[in-house]
């Protein structure tokens, strides 16, 4: 049994019309339903209601939820009727009658016969309006009023999919019911705290432009927001301690990000291919920048590496074409393979004392690189570390250092630091 809505207008002796809105049950007849994208809730139905004069009423029939069922598949979702607001407006635009449906009451109000606009509204759905409806002595029927889901700016809990974490009373967000443009993830759902975003929870939500996460969230899983190509506004929660692989891979509309203090590792591909990312703030809690973490962030201009950093993994900044200079803190021991390769606008690199090793092709094809300052602590530079860095490239280091020896063996210009 499913709920439907009946609207009656009944003429009484005074000439005033009684506008009545009631809930009633109706059986469903699935015959002759050729459109699988809609649910017809009243087809073949009968109604239980009180009618003084059955020839003088308005019937609101077939308010239906527009659903995106797969082609050829029947719609199985329950209909949404409760919570519909019906408003009658006169020719001057004034609201004359407003009735709100629910499961338990019958609502009615007197209204004069005349010409009205009738507006149907429900939270989370696009409104439907029927204009210039004459409420008089004749039977009037609104047939098949379909209310389409509104996927813009919805942030209520009803749109959020979640599950309990490891049988505990903690919630992990697993996705959205609808492809929304904006969503707020609350601290608590149904009394239970929200603590994490599951792997791939919002992956490929191409309509998503803004999301707000509560500070209670401590973990964002692998690929959680990957390929959200229109995501522009995003603030990582202050309590975050884990940020998964490829978490923001391919978020091409992100322009800046502040990583909260508490994250220790920016993992594999976390911000890879975020082509409009310009500014990244990394806190002192970060000790490792993982493989391909910022690779091909082609507009990345400003990044300051923290003194806590100990490792820059392979491909970490590969193809970051807009970087012009970088300072490697002395806490870093190894610059990984291809770590800064093809950073074609990189001009100056300063390495502070403490680095030990520069790996294979670490600065390969940095075609505009003019100079690098290498400290005495460096004892290993792999082959082709500075290949295709241009004829004007100069290694600055101390006389007698390993860096001088490397420069001489590879015919790279050398200048005493």
**Domains of the chain with bracketed CATH:** 2-147 (2.60.40.10)
Q: What pLDDT is stored for residue 286 in this prediction? A: 97
Q: Would the pLDDT of 274 be above 90?
A: yes
Give the range among 117-131, 185-199, 369-383 with minimum mean pLDDT.
117-131
pLDDT at 149: 58
Q: Which long-range contacts (CB under 8 A, 24 or more apart) does 261-264 make?
A: 261/285, 262/238, 264/288
d(CA 365, CA 99): 70
Q: How many CB atoms lie within 10 A of CB 32?
A: 8
Cα distance between residue 404 and residue 110, in whole Å: 96
Q: What is the pLDDT of residue 179?
A: 78
pLDDT at site 54? 27
Q: Can you tell me the mean pLDDT for 194-212? A: 92
What pLDDT, on the 0 to 100 scale, is given for residue 156? 55
pLDDT in tens, 153-190: 444 577 888 888 776 789 999 998 877 888 889 998 88
What is the pLDDT averaged over residues 210-222? 93
Distance of CA 43 to the CA centre of its chain: 38
**pLDDT greater than 80 at residue 73:** no
Assign 83 a pLDDT band (cuts: 50, 70, 90): low
- DSSP-derived pairing of the beta strands 114-121 and 85-89: antiparallel
Query: Rounded to whole angstroms, how far apart are CA atoms 137 and 118?
Result: 17
Asked whether the predicted pLDDT for residue 343 surpasses 80, the reply is yes
- Residue 394 to residue 159: CA distance in whole angstroms: 57
Quote the pLDDT of residue 168: 72
What pLDDT shows up at residue 28? 26
396, pLDDT greater than 90: yes
How confident is the model at residue 20, as a pLDDT? 42
pLDDT for 40 equals: 28
Name the average pLDDT for the chain: 76
Assign 306 a pLDDT band (cuts: 50, 70, 90): very high
Is the pLDDT higher at 152 or at 201? 201
Please determine, for residue 349, whether its predicted confidence score (pLDDT) is greater than 70.
yes
Q: What is the pLDDT of residue 291?
A: 97
C-alpha 314/C-alpha 320 separation (Å) is 14
d(CA 333, CA 311): 6
Per-residue pLDDT band for 302 (boundaries 50, 70, 90) equals: confident
Cβ 96 vs Cβ 88: under 8 Å: yes
Among 202, 201, 196, 187, which residue's Cα sits nearest to residue 166?
A: 196
pLDDT at 231: 93
pLDDT for residue 80: 34
Q: Residue 381 — pLDDT band, cuts 50, 70, 90? A: very high
| 357 half-sphere exposure, CB direction, 13 A CA radius | 14
Give percent of the chain with pLDDT exceeding 90.
51
Task: Return phi, psi of residue 165, to 5°.
Answer: -85, 115
For residue 35, how many other CB atoms are within 10 A of its CB?
10
The percentage of the chain sitting over the pLDDT mark of 70, rounded to a whole number, equals 69
Per-residue pLDDT at 390: 82
Split at pLDDT 50, 70, 90, the class of 21 is very low
C-alpha to C-alpha distances, 81 to 40, 51, 63, 110, nearest whole angstrom: 12, 22, 7, 23
* Listed range (9-18, 256-265, 278-287) with the worst mean pLDDT: 9-18
What is the mean pLDDT of the segment spanning 319-337? 96
Which of the four pLDDT bands, split at 50, 70 and 90, describes residue 96?
Answer: low
pLDDT reading at 33 higher than 80: no
């Amino acid at each position: 049994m499913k709920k439907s809505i009946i609207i009656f207008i009944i003429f009484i002796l005074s000439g005033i019309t009684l506008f009545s809105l009631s809930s009633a049950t109706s059986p469903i007849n699935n015959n002759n339903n050729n459109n699988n994208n809609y649910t017809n809730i009243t087809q073949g139905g009968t109604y239980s209601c009180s009618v003084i004069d059955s020839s003088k009423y308005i019937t609101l029939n077939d308010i239906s939820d527009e659903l995106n069922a797969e082609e050829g598949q029947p719609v199985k979702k329950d209909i949404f009727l409760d919570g519909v607001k019906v408003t009658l407006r006169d020719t001057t635009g004034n609201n004359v009658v407003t009735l709100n449906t629910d499961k338990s009451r019958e609502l009615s109000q007197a209204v004069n016969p005349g010409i009205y606009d009738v507006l149907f509204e429900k939270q989370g759905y696009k409104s439907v309006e029927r204009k210039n409806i004459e409420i008089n002595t004749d039977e009037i029927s609104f047939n098949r009023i379909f209310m389409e889901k509104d996927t813009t700016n919805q942030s209520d809990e009803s749109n959020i999919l979640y599950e309990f974490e490891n049988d505990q009373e903690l919630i992990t967000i697993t996705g959205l019911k609808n492809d929304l443009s904006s969503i707020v993830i609350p601290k608590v759902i149904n009394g239970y705290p929200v603590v994490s975003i599951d792997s791939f929870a919002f992956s490929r939500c191409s309509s998503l432009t803004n999301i707000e996460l509560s500070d209670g969230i401590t973990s964002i899983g692998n690929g959680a927001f990957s390929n959200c190509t229109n995501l522009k506004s995003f603030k990582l929660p202050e309590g975050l301690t884990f940020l998964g692989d490829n978490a923001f891979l391919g978020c091409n509309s992100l322009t800046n990000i502040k990583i909260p203090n508490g994250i220790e590792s920016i993992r594999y591909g976390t911000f890879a291919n975020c082509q409009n990312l310009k500014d990244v703030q990394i806190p002192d809690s970060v000790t490792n920048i993982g493989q391909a973490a910022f690779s091909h962030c082609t507009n990345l201009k400003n990044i300051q590496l923290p003194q806590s950093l100990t490792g820059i993994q392979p491909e970490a900044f590969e193809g970051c074409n807009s970087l012009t200079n970088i300072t490697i803190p002395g806490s870093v021991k190894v610059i990984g393979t291809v770590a800064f390769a093809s950073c074609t606008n990189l001009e100056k690199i300063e390495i502070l004392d403490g680095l030990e090793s520069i790996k294979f092709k670490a600065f390969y094809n940095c075609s505009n690189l003019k100079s690098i300052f290498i400290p005495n602590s460096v004892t290993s530079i792999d082959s082709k570390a500075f290949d295709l860095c241009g004829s004007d490239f100069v290694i600055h280091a101390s006389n007698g250092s390993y860096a001088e020896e490397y420069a001489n063996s590879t015919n790279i210009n050398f200048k005493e630091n």
